[in-house]
Amino acid sequence: MVPALLSTMLTPVPGRIAVIGDYGFASPGLAGVAKLVSGWRPEYIVTTGDNNYDGGSASTIDRNIGQYFAPYIGNYRGRYGPGSSRNRFFPVLGNHDWGDKGNNPHGADPYLSYFSLPGNERYYDVVLGKVHLFVVDSDRNEPDGNSASSIQARWLEGRLKASKARWKVVAFHHPPYSGGESGSAPHMRWPFREWGANLVLSGHDHTYQRIEYQGLTYIVNGLGGARRYALKRKVPGTAVWFSAEHGAMVLEPSERSLKGRFVTSAGKVVDTFSVD
């Protein structure tokens, strides 16, 4: 049994956010990413989806998530410790969480039962210090739609425009722009910048890419532990692309900037960036 993260034994760094994607497969790859994240002592962890391979089943969810991250999960009822007195783990629904492989007849029910999240739990927002996080469900199974004119998108537009936070970060699974095996998801090219977003996080393509496009930073963060994908063709605005090793990202917000870096499990810094 791989122990859960030990960060609760150490004082977390206030406001620090770790971001992991496409990680939910109990494996040495995920164990290395979990150890990396633990060393950062983040106050919060955000995911970019595919938290529970392969089919989002209730029988695998605690092994794939709680085994590594239970100390961050509020109202935790799994096998790997007491959990957190307040929720500090904020996931995104991925296609595998919806039962992508067809062996989960209950759709996203195991995910929704496992976590205690704000709103309707499929899409929600929460303030994490200086960062206002907006989680969106980009999957085709989302009952409130996933187009730029959907009920869900109208909710996001209204919440972004109403937010007074210094930094507004939107996270979902399918990348609007990607040069990896899965490619871009045009249905997620919502007008995030016009609505007030400062940074867009996604996963699905098991790569790391930073794309600077039309005045907004888009991150593809899918190297959390599942099989790594090949990089195919750079999309316009590609600043960094990488898929050689598993890793994770850390965000450091301040009043002046939102700094980010992607680091491999072996400690190699692949990318650093700043949203000002």
CATH number of 7-275: 3.60.21.10
The pLDDT tens digits of the residues spanning 194-217 come to 999 999 999 999 999 999 999 999
**Does the structure show a pLDDT above 50 at 1?**
no
Per-residue confidence (pLDDT) for residue 10, from 0 to 100: 72
Residue/partner pairs of 149-156 with CB below 8 Å, 24 or more apart: 152/123, 153/190, 155/123, 156/123, 156/190, 156/195
pLDDT in tens, 99-109: 876 555 578 99
Inform me whether the pLDDT recorded for 171 exceeds 80: yes
DSSP letter (8 states) at residue 135: E
Domain boundaries of the chain, sorted by first residue: 7-275
The reported pLDDT for the residue numbered 2 is 46
- pLDDT tens-digit series, residues 54-64: 999 999 999 99
User: Which 3 state secondary structure label does DSSP give 43?
Assistant: strand
Quote the pTM value: 0.96
